[in-house]
Structure 1
C-alpha cells in the first residue's frame, strides 16, 4: 500500500540515493542541498511502500528565494504557481502509480491553496519521453523552452492551469 506523508530528516539519506539514481534527469543534490530545498518548499512529500521510501516530490511556491534558472523563468511569468523542482520514483517501484499518487495529492494541495498553475520542466535534449508522457496525462502544456546546465540540456517548460 502506498502512503504519502511529509518528508522528515530521517528520510534524507534515502531521498538523496533516489535522486542520485536519476541524476541525469534531475540534477545533483547532496544532503545540504536537500535540506535547503525542504526549507524553501511548500510541498515536500515522500511516498512509502511497506514503510520504505519509494519516491519523493519537492515543490516551491512563488516568492521563494530560490536561485534556479527554471524557477526564475516561471517567477517572471506566473503570479501564482507551484513549481515542481523534482519528483523521483525508485526504479524498484516503477509502474505502481506512485508518481501519479504524489501528483494527485499535489494538485489537491494546489487547489486548496488557490494556486493558479503547477509548473515544471523536463528534458527534451537529451530526451525524457517517460516524463513527457507522465506530464501529458496531468494536462501540462509547454509554455517555453530553454537551455540549462551550461548548454548541455534543453528543457520544456510546462504548466498545468488549476
Structure 2
C-alpha cells in the first residue's frame, strides 16, 4: 500500500476550531487556548501550517511578533532575529507519519528564504517530555538554556537550531 503524502497548507480562519480542539487536547504539553487567543496568535504568526484536514499543525513567530510568552521573550532577549516555534502538534491517529519533521523542514526553508538564521523552541522539562527532547536533538536543535516559569509550575529547556540564512 502506498501512503499518500498530504500537502502542507497555510492555516486559514476555517481551520481555527479544529486547531483549537487539537491544541487543547494537549494543553498540558502546550497551553490551553481560548478561541480569541488562537485568532490573535494566528494573526501574529510568521508561519502557521497544517497537514491534512488537521493531522498536524505548527504555529511560529518571528522576533517582531506581539507575543507575551515568557519563552518567546527569553529568545527575544538573546537574539536580534529568530523564528520561535510556539507549538507543533500531531494528532494521536497521525503519529509516526513524519508530519512533525516535514513541518519543521518546510519551516526551515521558509525561514531561510527570508534571511532568518536561527529557529528556536522550548520543551517541557517539568513535566518532562523526553520524546520531544529526542526529536529536536535528531533534527539538529541544541540546548541553549532553561527556565522555571509560571510561578514555578513549569520548567522548560530552550533549544536553537542554526539554518542556512
- Kept in 2, the 8 Å contact 1:2–1:98? The answer is no
**Which runs of 4 or more aligned residues in structure 1 lie more than 3 Å from their structure 2 counterparts after TM superposition?**
none
Partner of 1:103: 104
Partner of 1:53: 54
What's the TM-score, normalizing by structure 1?
A: 0.95
Partner of 1:26: 30
- Kept in 2, the 8 Å contact 1:70–1:121? The answer is yes
Count matched residues.
159
Partner of 1:4: 8
Partner of 2:142: 141
Secondary structure, counterpart of 1:87 in structure 2 = strand
* Equivalences for residues 73-88 of structure 1 within 5 A: 73-88=74-89
Structure 2 unaligned segments of length 5 or more: list them: none
Secondary structure, counterpart of 1:66 in structure 2 = coil
2:43 to 30, 39, 43: 39
Structure 1 unaligned segments of length 5 or more: list them: none
Rounded Cα–Cα distance in structure 1 between residues aligned with 2:68 and 2:74: 11
- Kept in 2, the 8 Å contact 1:119–1:159? The answer is yes
- Kept in 2, the 8 Å contact 1:46–1:56? The answer is yes
Secondary structure, counterpart of 2:55 in structure 1 = strand
What's the TM-score, normalizing by structure 2?
A: 0.94
